[in-house]
Every structure is written in C-alpha cells, then in structure tokens.
C-alpha cells in the first residue's frame, strides 16, 4: 500500500521569480535558505509522488469556466507558462495518471465532485517552490488545484474535508509507493486591491500558531474568522489547510517566516513528517 511520507508547505510569491536579480542580497539569501531547507526535508522523505496543492492563477481556467477543485490526472504536465517566469527553466513534469485517477475516483465515491484535467499547464504557484527547492530528481507531480482566487471559494471546512479525503486516498492506494503533499501559497498578501502590497504580520503569526497546533477544527475557526479581514492573497492558505487535515490534524513545524515587502508576501515554510 502507498505510504504517506509527509506534508510540506511553502509560499510562492511570483516576484521571487520576476525580480530575483533585483532583490537585495540578504533577502535572496534568506529565501534561498528557506526553500533549500524545505527541499532538503522533502528530499529526505524520498517521495515517488508529490500531490501539490496550489491555485491556478488564470493559466488553465478563467471566469468563463472556473472549477472549485481540479485534479490533474495527466501522465505529464508542463510549466511554468507565464512570460515573467522566463528566467526559470520550462520543463515537462512527470505526472502520475494512476494515482491521480485513484484520487479522483476516491473523491467521487465520497461525495466530492472535482473537475479533472488530462492536460494541465502549471504556473508559478506550482513551479516556483519546486524549482527553488532544487529537487533532483523531481518526483512525479499530481496537481490538486483549489480555487483560492475568485469568490465564492470552497469553504475552509471543505478544504479540511479534502485533506481527510486525500489521506484516505493515499492509504487505500494499492501500490507500494511513497507519497508526499506540498501545499503552495500564502501567507498574507494583497493583489490588485486597495491594500496591494500590505502584509498582515499579526494575521500571519496567528495563522502559523494555528497551523502549529494539533487541532484542524481550531485552525478552520481561526481562518473563517480572520480571512475576510486580510488581503485577498491570504486565501491561498486553504492549500495549507488541506495538508494539515491530511496529516490527521498534527501540528506543522515552522521552518521560517519572513515578511518580504519586496515581493509583497508574508512568506512561510513548514513541514510535518510522520514518525519513522
Ligand atoms: Fe498565488
């Protein structure tokens, strides 16, 4: 049976890619260190497959067709697509059609109705953490896209339910592979609204404290109360909620928190690994 080997979480501020050479040296050094340490922990998990949870920043979907949840069941994906990611290598990434399909079937059996895609282009939300973590070789990637961008979005409680479902799908997968989860996004940021560029450090600290606790229900309550009052980008912590619930509600260990005004994002990196 498949083995769940850990959950990892990281921010994906796009200016980390676009403005990399313009960022001050100390900022680049700390970001490099945080991604490298997260990547080292993920590499140590020796995952065959990473279920990566991220939003789609209008790369595959738009307001004419915007799924709340989409599972990538393709044998491969490609990315990143955005022109501002041109300094990053564009790659074809291996998918895992068999596990992606198993996750889809598990969801449908359990009363969830995600969309699916056999052909996804991955954007900076998926590629930036993977590239910056320096994973080599890169495990197969099964994308799980959550609409964190455009209201109305899946509720926080529903994201937690997705996490429980994901853990059950891993546990029931009849193949002897190692599967990790990588949640990409958050913490606070504000894009295209009056508070553009604002980083809500109080929210971020509360958010981190909630993720560190062994209590997904308390985490859901905190986010449902606080998310309406911070910048729109913070909604991406839904992806972290999926991961937290998939860990059975075990608290994450924070690897770093770094509010970076130069990239408009309160950046955080965290992990949870099961006991050996
Ligand atoms: Fe994002």
Residue 188 Cα to ligand 1 middle (Å): 10
Q: State yes or no: pLDDT of 37 exceeds 80.
A: yes
Residue 54 Cα to ligand 1 middle (Å): 8
pLDDT, tens digit (0-9, with 9 covering 90-100), for 189-216: 999 999 999 999 999 999 999 999 999 9
Q: State yes or no: pLDDT of 94 exceeds 90.
A: yes
The pLDDT of residue 88: 87
Q: State yes or no: pLDDT of 276 exceeds 90.
A: no
| The three-state (H, E, C) secondary structure of the chain, written as one string | CCEEEEEEEECCCCHHHHCHHHCCHHHHHHHHHHHHHHHHHHHHCCCCEEEEEECCCCCCCECCECCCEEEECCCEEEECCCHHHCCCCCEEEECCHHHHHHHHHHHHHCCCCCEEECCCECCHHHHHHHHHHCCCCCCEEEEEEECCCCCCCCCHHHHHHHHHHHHHHHHCCCCCCEEEEEEECCCCECCCCCCCCCCCHHHHHHHHHHHHCCCHHHHHHHHHHHHHHCCHHHHHHHHHHHHHHHCCCCCCEEEEEEEEHHHCEEEEEEEECCCC
- The stretch 78-98 carries a mean pLDDT of 92
Residue 80 Cα to ligand 1 middle (Å): 13
Residue 12 Cα to ligand 1 middle (Å): 6
**Residue 155 — pLDDT band, cuts 50, 70, 90?**
very high
Residue 153 Cα to ligand 1 middle (Å): 14
- The stretch 129-145 carries a mean pLDDT of 96
Residue 175 Cα to ligand 1 middle (Å): 32
The pLDDT of residue 87: 80
Residue 168 Cα to ligand 1 middle (Å): 27
**Residue 86 — pLDDT band, cuts 50, 70, 90?**
confident
pLDDT, tens digit (0-9, with 9 covering 90-100), for 2-17: 999 999 999 999 999 9
């Amino acid at each position: 049976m498949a083995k769940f080997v850990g959950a990892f979480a990281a921010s994906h501020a796009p200016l980390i890619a676009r403005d990399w050479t313009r960022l001050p040296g100390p900022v680049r050094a700390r970001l490099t260190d945080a991604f490298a340490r997260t990547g080292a922990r993920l590499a140590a998990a020796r995952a065959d497959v990473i279920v990566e949870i991220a939003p789609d920043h209008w790369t595959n979907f738009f307001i004419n067709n915007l799924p709340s949840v989409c599972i990538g069941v393709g044998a491969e994906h490609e990315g990143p697509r955005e022109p501002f990611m041109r300094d990053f290598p564009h790659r074809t990434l291996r998918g895992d059609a068999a596990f992606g399909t198993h996750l889809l079937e598990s969801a449908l059996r359990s009363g969830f109705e995600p969309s699916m895609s056999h052909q996804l282009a991955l954007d900076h939300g998926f590629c930036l953490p993977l590239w910056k973590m320096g994973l080599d070789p890169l495990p197969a990637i099964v994308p799980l896209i959550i609409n964190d961008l455009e209201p109305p979005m899946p509720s926080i409680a529903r994201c937690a339910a997705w996490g429980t479902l994901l853990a059950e799908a891993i546990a029931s997968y009849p193949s002897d592979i190692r599967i990790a989860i990588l949640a990409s996004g958050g913490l606070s940021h504000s894009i295209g609204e009056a508070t553009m560029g604002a980083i809500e450090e109080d929210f971020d600290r509360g958010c981190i404290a909630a993720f560190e606790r062994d209590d997904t229900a308390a985490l859901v309550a905190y986010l449902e109360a606080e998310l309406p009052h911070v910048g729109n980008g913070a909604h991406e912590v839904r992806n972290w909620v999926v991961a937290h619930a998939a860990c059975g509600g075990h608290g994450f260990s924070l690897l770093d928190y770094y509010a970076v005004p130069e990239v408009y994002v309160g950046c955080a990196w965290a992990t949870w690994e099961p006991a050996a």
